[in-house]
Structures are given as structure tokens and as C-alpha cells.
Amino acid sequence: MVRTLGSGLSTLIAIVAVICAIPSFWTHQRLIDSAGFRSMSQPLGHDRAVQDAVADELVAQITADNAGGAASALVVKPLVTAYTRGSDFPSDLSDVLGQQHDWLFDAPTAREQQQGTMQLDLTAMVNRAIASQGIGVTVRGPITVALSESRRSGLEAGRYHQIGQRIDQIAVVAAGVAVIAAFLALVIARRRGLVLCALGFGVVVAGGIAWLLGALLRNRAYAEVSGAADSARRIADRLIDRGVDDLHHTGLITGGVGVAMVAIGLLVSLTVDRRRTGR
């Protein structure tokens, strides 16, 4: 009786911990961690809509101080478009988006707090676009683009720093609790197959919740960047779509793992556990 109660309680704790761990670990690995975010965002460099949005912004910045703006744009646009279609662009875009990530998730400096609105430094990207076409010109810069028009845009420095730290803590604690509780449940259980089925069900639920979170957070994320400038908002929207798709993919994989655990648990229950109990 004591073993059954202990196994049941440990299983319940493990299920709750898994449900907390999966979304929080994804958030840590793909959003909060700088390297993980850059890895997730780099494929956007192959997205035609993102390429066009960046090309429009680069043309505007390159021709901004030129008196013959319209004529200059006609000359510059094909060159910039060729750059954004090139092999170097995805990595360059990932670096620029990394600036946005660091602004939101790193602890803000006194200068950033005083600056108020997020700005991206496009100097390196502009020079790469010029150099890629064999033009012997270097722009000293800095060329900065404000991503928001006011301090109340939802893009203030360090906006997600504290919540990011809390999510990291939740991910580590929840994962540790899930592993320990699941191990204890399996060790002390009389019918390990049923415990494995229950744990698998918990993993399936965790995957489903992760998938639903992606669907629920998409519109909220759109609202967060609604104050950004036009081209920046277009890029941010595609980045949000990319992140949600990645979370949905993680949820589906997690659900598949849970289904496999349930199937293995049923097999164990029908074979090993049945022989052990003599039934």
C-alpha cells in the first residue's frame, strides 16, 4: 500500500514537472539563450519576404543623405537585392536580429535606459552589401534604425531580462524534479508498465500545452512589436511566425515521444508486470 501511494505521488509530481519543463526549456533554448536564438533566426535569411523588407530598409539608409534619392534608389536597389539573395545574408541577418535579442533579454545599461527606444546598427550590413558588389566604398556610420517610435512600444531595454531569468530557473528545477520523481516512481512501483503509461500521458499533455501556447502567444507577440517601424515590424512578424512554428514542432515531437512511452508502458504491463504478478 505504501509503495503504491509513493509511486502514485511520485508519478503525479513527475507529470506536473514535465508539463512545466517542456515549454520553459524550449523558451530557454530558443528565445532566452543568445546562441539558440541566433540559430533559430538564421533560416529567416532565406525567406523572400524578409529579404525584401531588409532590402527596402538598406536602400532607404544608403540613399538617405543623397539629394537624388529616387534616382539613387533605382541604382542601389538591384545591388542590395542581390546581396539579400546571397549566401552571406542569413548570417548577417542573424547577427542583426541578435542585437534585438540582447536589447530585450540582457540587463540594460545606463546608456540604453537613457536611449529609451531600440535601435539596430546596420553599418556592418550596409558595408557588406556594398562590398558584395565590388564597389570600393565604405560607409563609416553608424547607421542606426529605430525599431520603435516611443518608450511605450513594448521594446524597452531589458524588458524580458528578469522574466527570462525566472524561466531559466523554472526550466532547470522542473527538469530536475521530473527526472528524480519519475525515477523514484519506477523504482518503487509494483506495476512499472502502468507508471510508464502515466508518465507517457504526462509527456503527451506537455506537448499539447506547448503547441497551444504557441497558438495563444502568436497574437500577443504581434501586439508587442506593433509599435515598430514598418520594415522592422514585417521582419519581427516573420520571426514570430518562425518561433511559433518551432514551438509547434517541439510540441508535436514531445507528443510523439509521449505516445511511444505509453505504448512501451502497455507492452511492459501486458508482459513483464503480468508475469511478475502471476496473472
Nearest CA to 38 out of 100, 104, 117, 118 is that of 100
- Say if residue 67's pLDDT is above 50: no
Residue type, position 276, single letter: R
Of how many residues is the chain composed? 279
Residue type, position 128, single letter: R
- Say if residue 150's pLDDT is above 50: no
pTM of the predicted model as reported, rounded to 2 decimal places: 0.79
Higher pLDDT, 232 or 220: 220
Which pLDDT band, with edges at 50, 70 and 90, does 147 fall under? Answer: low
User: What mean pLDDT is reported for the chain?
Assistant: 82
- Say if residue 1's pLDDT is above 70: no
DSSP H stretches of helix in 189-229: 192-224
- Say if residue 110's pLDDT is above 70: yes
Q: Where are the beta strands (DSSP E) in the chain?
A: 119-121, 144-146
Write out the three cell numbers for 203: 509527456
Which pLDDT band, with edges at 50, 70 and 90, does 97 fall under? Answer: confident
- Say if residue 122's pLDDT is above 90: no
* pLDDT at 124 (0 to 100): 78
Please tell me the distance from the alpha carbon of residue 84 to that of residue 141, in angstroms, as a whole number. 20
Domain limits, the chain: 2-31+161-277, 42-146
Higher pLDDT, 151 or 266: 266
